[in-house]
């Protein structure tokens, strides 16, 4: 008697279908959140926009807060791959770059691309944080993650001897965290209609002038 063996491709297909469904739900939720606001967006509306049932929204993603968190996480990195930010190729490349000025120029480019995706959702989170405890926690989590990442970057600049002598690594991290806030992009690019290239150049120039002494030379 032979034992039936499950074909791997069937499992792979089911996983791919589940992932596609999850993407559709999160994309629909993000679109509705930015168009209508968090409070005015219902699970039923998300299900209809994604072309799935209400039950599927809950089983695939969870409630509205979970959908907003996933939307923000994916917008931050640009995809839904389970790879931590500090392990992303562009972050590793910056960690390996000896020239601190090039690191900040590269960082400005990444922030410009990321903020274009996250700024609308960031505005949704900020608007809802005062009314919803789950979104308030999400906002605080995002703040904590950003400052943690900026501390890594600031320490990298300090290790290269690239910080102004009056700045501690912690203070440098605060400066980077402040300038890279999605709200800054939203105000300059979306509200004041700056060209995104102009924003990127301004951010790079601001970071370099505020953090790096004019006498800095990359170590060979």
Quote the CA–CA distance of 208 and 160 in Å, as a whole number: 14
* Residue where the block lists tokens 């072309």: 51
The Cα–Cα gap between 130 and 90 comes to: 34
- Residue 182's pLDDT is 87
Provide the token pair at 187: 């105000």
CATH architecture of 9-63: Orthogonal Bundle (1.10)
For 79-109, give the secondary structure using H, E and C: CCCCCCHHHCHHHHHHHHCCCHHHHHHHHHH
The DSSP element (H or E) to which 19 belongs, if any, is helix 8-36
Please state, in angstroms and rounded to a whole number, the distance separating the CA atoms of residues 67 and 30. Answer: 8
Please tell me the predicted confidence (pLDDT) of residue 7.
60
For residue 9, what pLDDT is reported?
A: 60
pLDDT lower than 50: segments of the chain: 1
Residue the block writes with tokens 């120029």: 105
CATH code of the domain made up of 83-211? 1.10.357
Give CA separation, 101 vs 91, 110, 146, 169, in Å: 15, 14, 21, 16
Query: Which pLDDT score, from 0 to 100, does residue 4 have?
Result: 53
Q: What is the pLDDT of residue 14?
A: 85
Distance, CA of 36 to CA of 132 (rounded, Å): 16
Q: What is the pLDDT of residue 20?
A: 93
Residues 42 and 84 sit within 8 Å (Cβ to Cβ):
no
CA distance 83 to 213: 34
Global pTM reads 0.82
- Domain-wise residue ranges, the chain: 9-63, 83-211
> In Å, what is the CA distance from 119 to each residue of 6, 36, 72, 88, 173?
45, 15, 9, 21, 20
- Taking residue 179's Cβ as centre, other Cβ atoms within 10 Å add up to 19
The domains spanning 9-63 and 83-211 adopt the same CATH topology: no
């Amino acid at each position: 008697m032979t034992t039936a063996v499950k074909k791997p491709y069937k499992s792979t297909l089911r996983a791919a279908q589940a992932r596609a469904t999850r993407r559709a739900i999160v994309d629909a939720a993000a679109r509705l959140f930015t168009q209508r606001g968090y409070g005015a967006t219902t699970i039923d509306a998300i299900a209809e926009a994604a072309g799935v049932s209400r039950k599927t929204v809950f089983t695939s993603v969870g409630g509205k807060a979970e959908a907003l968190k996933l939307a923000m996480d994916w917008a931050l990195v640009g995809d839904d791959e389970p790879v931590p930010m500090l392990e992303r190729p562009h972050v590793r490349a910056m960690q390996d770059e000896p020239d601190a000025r090039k690191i900040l120029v590269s960082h400005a480019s990444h922030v410009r691309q990321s903020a274009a995706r996250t700024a609308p959702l960031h505005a949704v989170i900020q608007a809802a944080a005062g009314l919803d405890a789950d979104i308030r926690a999400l906002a605080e989590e995002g703040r904590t993650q950003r400052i943690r990442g900026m501390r890594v970057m600031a320490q990298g600049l300090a290790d290269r001897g690239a910080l102004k002598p009056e700045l501690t690594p912690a203070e440098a991290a605060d400066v980077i965290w402040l300038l890279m806030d999605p709200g800054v992009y939203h105000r300059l690019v979306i509200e004041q209609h700056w060209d995104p290239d102009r924003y990127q150049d301004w951010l790079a120039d601001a970071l370099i002038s505020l953090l790096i002494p004019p006498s800095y030379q990359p170590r060979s």
